[in-house]
Amino acid sequence: MAGEKVDPCSSARADAACTHFSLDLTIDFAAKTISGSTTLTVEIRGDDVRELHLDGKDLSIDATTLADSGERLDLVEKATPLGMDYTIHLPAGLEKGSSVKVKLVYSTSPLASGVQWLRPEQTAVKEHPFMFTQCQAIHARSLMPCQDTPAFKCTYDATMRTPKGLRALMSAKLVDENLNAGDNISLFKFEQKTAIPTYLLAIVAGSLFSRDLSERCRVWGEQGTVDKAAYEFEEVEKMLGAAEELLGPYVWERYDMVVLPPSFPYGGMENPMLTFLTPTLLAGDRSLVNVVVHEIVHSWTGNLVTSSTWEHFWLNEGFTVFCERKILGRLEGRLERHLAAYEGLNALRDSVEHFGEDSPYTALCPKFDGSLDPDDVFSSVPYEKGSNFLFYLESIVGEEAMNDFLKKYVIRFSHKSITTDDFQKFFTEFFADKAEALKQVQWEEWYNRPGMPIVKNKFDDTLVTKATNAADEFIAKTDFEGFTFDYGFSTMQEIVFYDHLLQKQSVPAAPIKFLMKSRFPNTSNAELRFRILSLCMKANLTEFNKQVIDFLTSQGRMKFVRPLFRLFAKVPGNAYKATEVFKAHRSQYHNIAAAMLAKDLGL
C-alpha cells in the first residue's frame, strides 16, 4: 500500500519524506544543462514502506541506487499532468523512523521550465552567459528529482561547478570556493542548514560582482548594475531591523540580494539568504524598495512558516503583504500604510476582472485537482485578499494584540508547513478572550467565496483622495498651455493617480499626450512608465506604439508585460502587431512569462 498523497500538485507520499538532499552538479552553458547527482535522505514514516514517489519534469535519469551500498533500485516513470511521477522501489524491511539514502544520477533538459539560460548578448555587459532558476511554484522538479511540495522541508548542501571565471550563488551559505579547480572549472560549495521547501532552491551563475551593505547584507549584480543596486538598496539593514522588531530575530544569518538580468519574470523572489530582484526596481531614487521589504518579510512568513500546499498560498503572501505594509507604516507613517493598502485593492480588482468575479481562482483558497499548474492561477488574489483578511481581523482584535499575535504565530509555526485550518485554530485560541467579537467573522466565506473581499475595509484615504481628485481635474483639462505636472506626490500617490485614470471607461487623448511629452521622459521609474504607457493604449494612441514596444521588449517582468501586452493587443489595428512583437522576442522572455503571454494573446 502506498501512503497518502500530501499535495495535489506533487507525487510525494506521507510515508516517506525527504529531509535532506545533497547536490553534486555541473552547469554547462553550451549544452544548457545541469547534470550530476542528487542524494536524498528519506525518512521512513510508515510501516512496510516499499515505494518512494518523486517528482520530475523533462529530466533524464541515468541511475538510481542506494547511496551507501550502491545497490541498484528500480525506478518506474509515469507521466502526470504536471510532470513525471517517479516510483522508486525501496528494499524490504525499512523500519518506521529509520532513514535511507537514495542517489540519482541525472541531467536536466535544455528546456527545463525552472531555468533560464541567457546568451551573452542578453546580459547587461554582453560578454558572458548567465543562468538563473525560478523554482516557485513547481519548477524545482525540472532541476532535480525531488518531492516538489511545500508540505515537506529539507536541508541541503551542494557542490556546483561552473566554467572558470563565472560565479555560482545559491539560496544557501557559501562554505568553500575554488576559482581555479582545473579543467577550466570553478567550484563552489554551499550549505543550507535551515530546512526549506523545494520551491526555495535557487541557483544563479554568471559574471557577478558584489558590494557589502552591512555586516550581514550584500548585493550582487552584473558589472554596471551592482553600483546602482548598492545605492538603491543601501538602507536594507534598516528594513531588516524593522522586520525583526515586528516578527522576531532573523534566523538566516545573511540577507544577500542579487539583481538579475531584465528577463527575471517577478519583482522579487524570496530565496533564502539570496533574494532575487528585478532590475526594474532600480529607479535611481529608492522609490521602489518596498519590494525588498516584502522579500525580507518572507524570511519569516513563507520561508519559516510555510503554506503546506498551493491552496494555502495566501498564508505566505497575504501575511507578507500585511506585514510589509506594517513596516512601511513604521518607516514612513500610517498614511503611507493605508495608501499602499488602497493601491493593493486596485491590483486585486484588476485580478478579479481578469479572471471574472465568479471565477474559483479568485477565492482566497483555490482548489487544485492535480492538473492545474499554480502558475496558471498566479495573481494578486492571495496577496491582496489575504492581506485584506488580516487587516479585517486586526480591526476586530486591535493593532497591538495583532502585533503580539504575529510574533507568537511565527514562534508557533517556524520550520513547519501549515494549512489555513492550522492558522484559524491558533488564531481563535490566541484570541479566546475575544470569542464574542470574533463571532462576526465568516471564515468559510472569506476562504471560499470568489470575487472581491466580503468585507470592505476602511482605509484612511487622505493621501488617496488628494491623488484621485487631482486625477479627475487633470483628465478634464483641455488646455495644457503653461501647465506643469507637479503635484508633490510620493511615487505611491502618483501610481494611484494613474490607476484612477486607468479605471475610467475611456480617457481623452490630450492629457495622455501631455503626460508622454512632459512626464514620461523625466522618470525612469518602471511602475510609473508602465502606467503612462498603459494610458496611451487605453486612449488608442498608436503613435506611441514604439515606446510601448520598447518597454515590452526591454524587460520581462510579468506584472508589466502581461497587462501591457493585453492592452496593446486590444487597440484597434494592433492585434496582429502584438503577436508579431511577442513572437520576435519570445526567446528573450523567461519560460514562465512566455507561456503566460502566449496564453494571454490567445496563441
Q: Which CB sits closer to Zn ion, 307 or 525?
A: 307
Q: Which CB sits closer to Zn ion, 320 or 362?
A: 320
- Concerning whether 400 is annotated as a catalytic residue, the answer is no
Q: Is 136 annotated as a binding residue?
A: yes
Binding mask 302-321 for Zn ion (x = CB under 5 A): ---------------x--x-
Least distance CB 503 / Zn ion (angstroms):
25
The residues that bridge with 157 in the sheet, in sequence order, are 22, 191
Least distance CB 290 / Zn ion (angstroms):
12
Torsion sign across C-alpha atoms 245, 248, 254, 257:
negative
Binding mask 318-337 for Zn ion (x = CB under 5 A): --x-----------------
> Going by C-beta distance under 8 Å and a sequence separation of 6 or more, which residues neighbour residue 358?
450, 451
Q: Is 134 annotated as a binding residue?
A: yes
Percentages helix, strand, coil for the chain (3-state, rounded to 5) are 40, 20, 35
- Concerning whether 95 is annotated as a catalytic residue, the answer is no
Q: Is 266 annotated as a binding residue?
A: yes
Q: Which CB sits closer to Zn ion, 266 or 459?
A: 266
What span, in angstroms and rounded, lies between the C-alpha atoms of 520 and 475? 16
Backbone angles phi, psi at 288, to 5 degrees: -115, 20
Least distance CB 422 / Zn ion (angstroms):
20
Q: Which CB sits closer to Zn ion, 36 or 267?
A: 267
Q: Which CB sits closer to Zn ion, 317 or 336?
A: 317
Q: Is 500 annotated as a binding residue?
A: no
Selecting among 295, 324, 343, 384, the annotated active-site residue is 295
Q: Is 237 annotated as a binding residue?
A: no
Least distance CB 420 / Zn ion (angstroms):
17
Q: Is 557 annotated as a binding residue?
A: yes
Query: Restricting to residues 243-302, which ones interact with Zn ion according to CB under 5 A?
Result: none
Residue environment code for 132-144, b if the CB has 16+ CB neighbours within 10 A, otherwise e: bbbbbbbbbbbbb
Q: With CB under 5 A, what is the number of residues at the site for Zn ion?
A: 2
What span, in angstroms and rounded, lies between the C-alpha atoms of 561 and 86? 36
Q: Which CB sits closer to Zn ion, 296 or 471?
A: 296
Q: Which CB sits closer to Zn ion, 56 or 272?
A: 272
Backbone angles phi, psi at 151, to 5 degrees: -70, -30
Binding mask 380-409 for Zn ion (x = CB under 5 A): ------------------------------
DSSP per-residue string spanning 432-498: GGGHHHHTT--HHHHHH--SS-SS------HHHHHHHHHHHHHHH----TT--------HHHHHHHH
Selecting among 86, 106, 199, 383, the annotated active-site residue is 383
- 3-state per-residue secondary structure call for 256-283: EEEECCCCCCCCEECCCCEEEECHHHCC
Q: Is 317 annotated as a binding residue?
A: yes
> Going by C-beta distance under 8 Å and a sequence separation of 6 or more, which residues neighbour residue 397?
405, 431, 434, 437, 438
Least distance CB 320 / Zn ion (angstroms):
5
Least distance CB 141 / Zn ion (angstroms):
21
Q: What is the DSSP letter of 374?
A: G
Q: Is 402 annotated as a binding residue?
A: no
Residue environment code for 438-461, b if the CB has 16+ CB neighbours within 10 A, otherwise e: beebeeeebbeebbbbebebebee
What span, in angstroms and rounded, lies between the C-alpha atoms of 165 and 176? 16
Q: Is 294 annotated as a binding residue?
A: yes
SS3 187: strand
Q: Which CB sits closer to Zn ion, 23 or 406?
A: 406
Helix (H) or strand (E) holding 568: helix 558-570
Least distance CB 231 / Zn ion (angstroms):
24
What span, in angstroms and rounded, lies between the C-alpha atoms of 21 and 135? 16
The residues that bridge with 187 in the sheet, in sequence order, are 161, 178
What span, in angstroms and rounded, lies between the C-alpha atoms of 540 and 561? 18
Look up residue 196 and give its three cell numbers: 526549506
Q: Is 337 annotated as a binding residue?
A: no
Known binding-site positions: 134-136, 265-270, 294, 298, 317, 557-559
Known binding-site positions for a peptide: 134-136, 265-270, 557-559
Binding region for Zn ion (CB under 5 A): 317, 320
Among all residues, which ones are annotated catalytic? 295, 383
Known binding-site positions for Zn(2+): 294, 298, 317
